[in-house]
Copies of this chain bind each other. A is one copy, B any other.
Amino acid sequence: MPIRPPHRSGDDPHPDLAPVAFLLGTWRGEGTGEYPTVARFGYAEEVRVGHVGGRFLTYAQRTWAPDTGLPMHAEVGYLRPGGPGRVELVVVQPSGITEVDEGTVVGTSITVSSRAVGHTSTAKEVTAVTRSFVLTGDSLTVSLSMAAVGHPLTGHLTAVLRRTN
C-alpha cells in the first residue's frame, strides 16, 4: 500500500493558540520597502498562517514585483506561544538567514525582536530584526526593521494586507 500523508484539515487550533489565532488565514496586499542601501521600492505580498493541530502556527510569506509578477522574497517559519502574553517566532530565509525572534502579543498586536540571527557563509550579514503584525479592523499591517551590513536597526518593510479566505 502506498504511503500517504495524513489528512490534516478540519481540526480545531490547539487551545494555547487562542491569543494568536487572529493571524490564521491567507493575507494579501501591497507594501513599501526602503533601506539606506537601496532605492525605495514597492511589492505585493502574501502571508499564509495555518495550523496542523499542534501548539504552533505555520507561517509562509512571499513577495513579488507588482508590475512583472516576478518573485522577490520568501520566508517560512513557525510561531509559538511563549507563555502568557509572550510569542516566539522562528523564521528562515532563502538568502541564508535564520531568526529566533521573541516578544509580546497584546490584543491583536504582535511585536517580536531577534534574540539570535544566524547566517550561512555566503549570506549577507543581518545582525538584528524586529517584526510586528498588527490587526486593525480588517487590515493586517506587517512591518520589519533590521540591522544589516553595518547599519543600525532601521525600518525596512511595511505592508498592509487583507484576509482573502
Chain A residues near B (Cβ < 8 Å): 2-8, 28-30, 44, 46, 52-54, 56, 58, 60, 62, 64, 66, 69-71, 74, 76-78, 80, 82-83, 88, 90-94, 96-100, 102, 115-116, 118-123, 164
Contact = CB atoms under 8 A, between A and B. Distances in A.
Number of copies: 2
A92 B76 contact: yes
A29 B3 contact: yes
Contacts of A80: 94, 96, 120, 122
B71 A53 contact: yes
A118 B94 contact: no
Given A6-B70, A98-B98, A119-B100, A78 B90 contact: no
B3 A82 contact: no
Given A80-B122, A83-B122, A118-B100, A6 B71 contact: yes
Contact of A82 (B4, B60, B100, B121): B121
